[in-house]
Amino acid sequence: DVVLTQSPLSLPVTLGQPASISCRSSQSLVYSDGITYLTWFQQRPGQSPRRLIYKVSNRDSGVPDRFSGSGSGTDFTLKISRVEAEDVGVYYCMQGTRWPLTFGQGTRLEIK
């Protein structure tokens, strides 16, 4: 199975400051069609997961532009340019390139 390793697992951030989460894969996530199926989700306290970013860098509708995704191959990053209070929660990366679908362990973002 593809193992996704996120770091850090806990991320205290001051309001208005940037934040960055890494997701490293045990295998290349480039599919045979040339597309990389790496997705980022946000799970706010007490809520269902919400997709933020798909195919590495595409923002979902309604997602603020302070969120951005980047990376290639086995190394990916989610960045928040200026953290706001509503960004508190757990962030997960997920790969959809190979069965079974797998998630990273999650990164808990909190306000310092």
Partner 1 sequence: EVQLLESGGGLVQPGGSLRLSCVASGFTFSNYAMGWVRQAPGKGLEWVSDISGSGGNTFYADSVRGRFTISRDNSKNTLYLQMNSLRVEDTAVYYCAKEGGSGSYGHLDYWGQGTLVTVSS
Chain positions contacting partner 1, by CB under 8 A: 37, 39, 41, 43, 48-51, 54, 60, 90, 92, 94-97, 99-106
* Nearest distance from C-beta of residue 47 to partner 1, angstroms: 8
7 residue type, one letter: S
Nearest approach, Cβ of 96 to partner 1 (angstroms)?
2
Which residues 6+ apart lie within 8 Å of 62 measured at CB?
none
Task: Return the DSSP state at 36.
Answer: B
Assigned token pair, 54? 């798909």
Q: Minimum CB separation from partner 1 for residue 75, in Å?
A: 19
Which helix (DSSP H) or strand (DSSP E) does residue 72 occupy?
strand 67-72
Nearer to partner 1, 60 or 77 (CB): 60
